[in-house]
Structure 1
Amino acid sequence: MLSLTIVTPTYNEADNIGELLRRLAAAAAAEPDVLVRSVIVDDSSPDGTADRARALGAELSTGTFSVEVLSRAAKEGLGAAYLWAFEQVLGREDPPTHILQMDADLSHDPAYLSDFLREVRAGADLVVASRYIPGGGTPDWTLDRKILSRGGNLYSRALLGSRLTDWTGGFNLFSRELLERIHFETVDATGYGFQIALKHRASVAARRVREIPIVFLDRTEGTSKIPGNTMLRSLLLVVRIRFTRASSR
């Protein structure tokens, strides 16, 4: 039986966490042959995100859907939150067969869960949600934001390879076996550059890679946590990965 853990880092997402968990529960109910667990990784949010998630999780729990809240002592960034959560989840006696990364601000629609699982059942060990293939898009974005994001992804694709079209997105599914094989715990990147570094390593090692189209919607509640220098740091990371790979040949 497939078992899927959905890892969602949070910081001050009390306005979104309830709707997210309700939508996840509905999406999981449509997949009765999959054990789905939502793991909320909260960096000690002062707005009560963790408490809301625990309370609603108890209400939504079923035989195939559950919610777990893992609290961290301090806010250390997206990459650190994911690495810590992966270690916690995969280090258990009965780890899940797959892990899905997902944002908490509802920009990643839980309804896409069925698309991810369709590709898993077809044999994919890496499934990436892409805004840049037919059927995907970013309708809420301004033109300059679209140009910046598209340019950054084309740049990453040119240097790292054409296997993926969306290098910077954070809606990705990995098999447990793939994460263990690439030694995810050694990925050396912080913040949103973590997504690029992890996906690069996974896409090189994956046996079957698939992308699914998604429409990415901007948050309607709360505030963005993306640092202003994210794009520059990500572009520099791509160069580092490219030349590290070249020197190892």
Structure 2
Amino acid sequence: MSDSLVIIPTYNEKENIEKIIRKVFSLPFLFEILIIDDGSPDGTAQIVKDLQAEFPLLHLEERKGKLGLGTAYIHGFKWALARKHEYIFEMDADFSHNPDDLVKLREACVNGADLSIGSRYVKGVNVVNWPMGRVLMSYFASMYVRFITRINIQDATAGFKCYRRQVLETIPMDKIKFVGYAFQIEMKFTAIKYGFNVVEVPIIFTDRTEGTSKMSTRIFREAFLGVIQMKISSWFRDYKRPL
């Protein structure tokens, strides 16, 4: 068993899933992987099952239907907390997050961060293969989040992260409201409100070359309105850590 678990939600990722699994297991540090598949009709889950005989540290949780990114990660967090993982990662299956950077994110937490974020914007704009319109939308979304929430995170919407166990033990998962794009913002905001040390680690983000993006205007709309709702709700919450 490893002290580090990489959670990868999937929906129709047959083109990428075997390659991403093999890449993570080839890294110099030993990570476990938990795939959470939302009923992919393309056979993603079966590919994972076939690989489990080769990789004992590969785990699969299957859910029926598309239940949302946020609920997939919360499912994975609870799975990890029921075991003894100290470092718990979020990562996409499509290679937009470079698996080599898992080691850097873990090192940041080993060296004092409670939550490390693979940041596209902490040192300029480090995005490859995105159309300019999407780059600008993402960059200004982070500016908007900083303006509304007053958190000093350059890449507020980033989805490549490493949590120390204590962060996920402290955040009440049943109070996390959002399931789409805004989930990533809400988790960072909540961790900061609880006083955890959040560190941005520069990465290069590369858009997927295979498979289909799950982004939609509905997800962006949830994030835009959700940030305001989240900020207002925070005025009425107690963020004291349990003793």
Q: Tell me the TM-score normalized by structure 2.
A: 0.91
Post-superposition offset of 1:23: 0.9
Query: What are the superposed Cα offsets for residues 96-119 of structure 1, whole Å, 9 maximum, x if unpaired?
Result: 112100111111110001111211
Report the counterpart of residue 45 of structure 1 in structure 2: 40
Coordinate RMSD, CA, aligned: 1.9
Distance apart, 1:88 and its partner CA: 2.5
Structure 1 counterpart of 2:63: 72
- In the other structure, the counterpart of 2:119 is 130
**Structure 1 position 72, deviation (Å):** 0.7
1:150-200 deviation digits (Å, cap 9, x = unpaired): 111100011112331111111111111111112133211121211111111
In structure 1, what is the equivalent of residue 105 of structure 2?
116
Change over 3 Å in CA distance of 1:57–1:163 after alignment to 2: farther
- 5+ long unaligned stretches in structure 1: none
Separation of aligned partners in 2, 1:67 and 1:185: 27
In structure 2, list runs of 5 or more residues that go unmatched: 239-243
CA gap 1:136/1:145 in 2 versus in 1, 3 angstroms? closer
Cα displacement (A) at 1:208: 2.1
Give the superposition deviation at 1:8.
0.7
Please, which of 160, 164, 173 is the counterpart of residue 184 of structure 1?
173
Identity %: 35
**Count of matched residue pairs:** 238
- More deviation, 66-75/198-207: 198-207
What per-residue deviation string (whole Å, max 9, x for no partner) do you get for residues 187-231 of structure 1?
A: 111212111111110122243221111111111111111222222
**Aligned mates of 2:36, 2:228 — CA distance in 1:** 30
1:178/1:206 contact within 8 Å kept:
no
Task: Determine if contact 2:109/2:163 at 8 Å carries over to the other structure.
Answer: no
Deviation at 1:85, TM superposition (A): 2.1
**Letter matched to residue 145 of structure 2:** S
- Report if the CA contact (8 A) 2:96-2:205 is conserved: yes
AA aligned to 2:70 is G
Q: Secondary structure at the match of 1:174?
A: strand
Cα distance, 1:97–1:136 mapped onto 2, change above 3 Å:
farther
Match of 1:231 among 199, 220, 227: 220
Displacement over 3 Å in runs of 4+ = 246-249
Is this contact kept in 1: 2:180–2:222, CA < 8 A?
A: no
